[in-house]
C-alpha cells in the first residue's frame, strides 16, 4: 500500500509481520466448499497455491497469509466467480474491481458505502452490505437475497470483512468496530472471530452487522486511482488474508516485539511506555480487542514456528531456538498445544 500507518523501518517490520500471519485450516477448506460442491479439482488449486493437501489432514493446521491469498486468487480466476460458488448468483471476475473504480471518486467514507450499495443492488439477487445510521452509531448490515450455499459461513464472513477493511484502507485509518453481530449460532471456528473483528461479538442476533461510531463516516477518502490499481493486483484476497492491524494495539505490540525471539522479549511495562499509555489502560484496550499480551506472544511464536518449518534448511532444534525456547522439548510441547501435532509431523504434512 502506498500510504502505510507507519513510516520507514516500522512500516517494513509491520509488513513482514503481516506476511507471517497464519490462517486456520478451517478457512482454507471453507473457501473451497463451493468449488468442491461444483466438482472442481480443489487439490490442484491447493498445490498451485503452495499448500499441501496432506497438511489439511492436520485438524489444527494453519497456512501463511501469502498462501491463502494465492489460493483465493486462483479459485476466483478458475471459477470466474467472486462468490466462489457460494452466492445466490455468480459474481463474475472484475465485479469487485468495478465497484472500487466507482467508489474511489467518493469524497467520504459515507459516500463510499452508499455508492457501493447502489452498485451492488444492480445485481439480482443481491449479496451486499447496507449502511444504516441511528444517533451517533453507524451500522453495515448484511443484505443477502436468494439461496446461498454457505455451510461454513465463509461468504457471509467475507462480505463483512471486505467491506470493513476496504473502507478502512480508503480513508487511511482503521474504522474501529464497537460490535459485530451475526444472525446464526456461534460456529465451531468462532474463536477465530476474536482476531478478525477485534471487538465484542454477538451470535444468534436478529441481523448480521458491524457497528461503529458515526464520526468515521465523515473521514475523507485519501487514496487515488494509481493506488487503487496497485491495490487491486492482490485484493480483495489480501483484505481477507492480511488485515492491516497497524493501528490496533495488537498490531502495534506485534511490531514492537518483532521477529527475533532468540533474545529476551520486552516486558509489558516497556511496551506500554513505548505506546504512551499505562499498563492498566493497555490491558483494558487489549481486552476490548479480545486478546491479551500473553496470547499475542504465544500466537506470534506459533506463526513464526510455522513459517520456519517451511524452510527445509533449518532443523527443528534451530527453529526452537529462533522462536525463544531454550529446550527443544518445551518447544515440542508448546507446538503440539498450538497445532495438535509435533513440529516433525507438521513439517511432513507440509512436504505432502
Q: What average pLDDT does this structure show over 66-82? A: 95
Distance CA 140, CA 67 (A): 29
Q: What pLDDT band is residue 244 in, cutting at 50, 70 and 90?
A: low
pLDDT at 17: 44
The ranges assigned to domains in the chain are: 22-241, 249-351
Strand (E) or helix (H) holding 209: strand 209-213
Phi-psi region of 84 (alpha: psi -120 to 50; beta: other; left: phi over 0): left
Q: What is the pLDDT of residue 249?
A: 86
Average pLDDT over residues 122-149: 97
Q: pLDDT confidence of 102, banded at 50, 70, 90?
A: very high
- Percent pLDDT > 90 in the chain is 67
Cell readout for 175 is: 474504522
- Taking the C-alpha atoms of residue 258 and residue 262, their distance in angstroms, rounded to an integer, is 11
Average confidence score pLDDT of the chain = 89
Mean pLDDT computed over 3-11: 34
pLDDT 10s digits, 155-189: 999 999 999 999 999 999 889 999 999 999 999 99
Residue 3 has pLDDT above 70, yes or no: no
The CA distance from 83 to 220, in Å, is: 29
Give the three-class secondary structure for 331: helix
Cis (ω within 30 of 0) for the bond into 125?
yes
Q: Which helix (H) or strand (E) holds 63?
A: strand 62-64
Q: What average pLDDT does this structure show over 61-84?
A: 94
The secondary structure of the chain in percent helix, strand, coil, rounded to multiples of 5, reads 55, 10, 35
Cα–Cα distance between 125 and 135 in angstroms, integer? 30
Q: How far apart are CA 299 and CA 350, in angstroms?
A: 19
The dotted CATH code for 249-351 is: 1.10.10.60
pLDDT of residue 174: 86
Q: What number is the average pLDDT over the span 86-102?
A: 95
Winning range, highest mean pLDDT, from 11-20, 35-44, 259-268, 327-336 = 35-44
- Pick from 8-22, 89-103, 275-289, 302-316: least confident: 8-22
Whether 25 has a pLDDT exceeding 90, the answer reads: yes
Helix 95-103 to helix 154-171 angle (10° resolution) is 30
Residue 31's pLDDT is 97
Question: Are 168 and 246 within 8 A, CB to CB?
Answer: no
* pLDDT tens-digit map of 229-241: 999 988 888 888 8
Identify the pLDDT of residue 93. Answer: 92
Residue found under cell 517494513: 12
3 or 258, greater pLDDT: 258
Residue 6: its pLDDT value, please? 28
Amino acid at each position: 500500500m502506498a500510504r502505510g500507518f507507519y513510516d520507514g523501518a516500522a512500516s517494513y517490520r509491520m509488513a513482514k509481520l503481516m506476511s507471517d500471519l497464519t490462517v486456520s485450516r478451517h478457512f482454507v477448506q471453507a473457501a473451497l466448499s463451493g468449488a468442491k460442491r461444483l466438482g472442481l479439482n480443489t487439490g490442484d488449486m491447493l498445490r498451485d497455491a503452495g499448500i499441501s493437501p496432506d497438511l489439511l489432514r492436520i485438524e489444527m493446521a494453519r497456512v501463511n497469509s501469502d498462501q491463502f491469498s494465492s489460493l483465493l486468487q486462483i479459485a476466483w480466476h478458475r471459477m470466474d466467480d467472486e462468490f466462489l460458488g457460494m452466492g445466490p448468483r455468480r459474481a463474475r471476475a472484475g465485479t469487485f474491481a468495478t465497484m472500487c473504480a466507482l467508489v474511489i471518486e467518493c469524497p467520504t467514507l459515507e459516500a463510499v458505502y452508499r455508492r457501493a450499495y447502489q452498485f451492488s443492488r444492480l445485481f439480482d439477487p443481491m449479496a451486499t452490505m447496507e449502511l444504516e445510521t441511528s444517533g451517533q452509531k453507524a451500522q453495515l448490515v448484511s443484505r443477502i437475497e436468494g439461496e446461498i450455499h454457505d455451510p461454513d459461513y465463509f461468504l457471509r464472513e467475507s462480505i463483512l470483512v471486505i467491506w470493513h477493511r476496504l473502507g478502512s484502507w480508503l480513508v487511511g485509518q482503521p474504522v474501529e468496530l464497537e460490535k459485530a453481530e451475526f444472525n446464526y449460532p456461534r460456529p465451531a471456528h468462532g474463536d477465530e472471530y476474536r482476531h478478525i473483528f477485534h471487538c465484542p461479538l454477538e451470535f444468534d442476533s436478529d441481523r448480521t452487522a458491524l457497528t461503529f461510531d458515526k464520526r468515521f463516516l465523515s473521514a475523507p477518502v485519501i487514496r487515488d486511482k494509481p493506488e487503487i490499481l496497485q491495490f487491486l493486483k492482490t485484493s480483495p484476497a489480501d483484505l481477507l488474508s492480511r488485515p492491516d492491524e497497524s493501528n490496533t494495539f495488537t498490531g502495534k505490540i506485534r511490531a514492537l516485539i518483532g521477529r527475533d525471539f532468540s533474545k529476551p522479549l520486552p516486558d509489558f511495562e516497556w511496551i506500554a511506555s513505548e505506546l504512551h499509555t499505562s499498563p492498566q489502560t493497555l490491558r483494558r484496550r487489549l481486552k476490548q480487542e479480545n486478546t491479551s499480551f500473553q496470547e499475542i506472544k504465544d500466537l506470534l511464536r506459533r506463526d513464526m514456528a510455522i513459517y520456519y518449518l517451511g524452510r527445509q534448511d533449518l532443523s527443528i532444534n534451530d527453529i526452537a531456538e529462533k522462536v525463544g525456547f531454550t529446550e527443544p522439548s518445551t518447544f515440542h510441547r508448546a507446538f503440539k498445544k498450538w497445532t495438535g501435532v509435533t513440529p516433525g509431523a507438521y513439517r511432513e504434512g507440509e512436504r505432502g
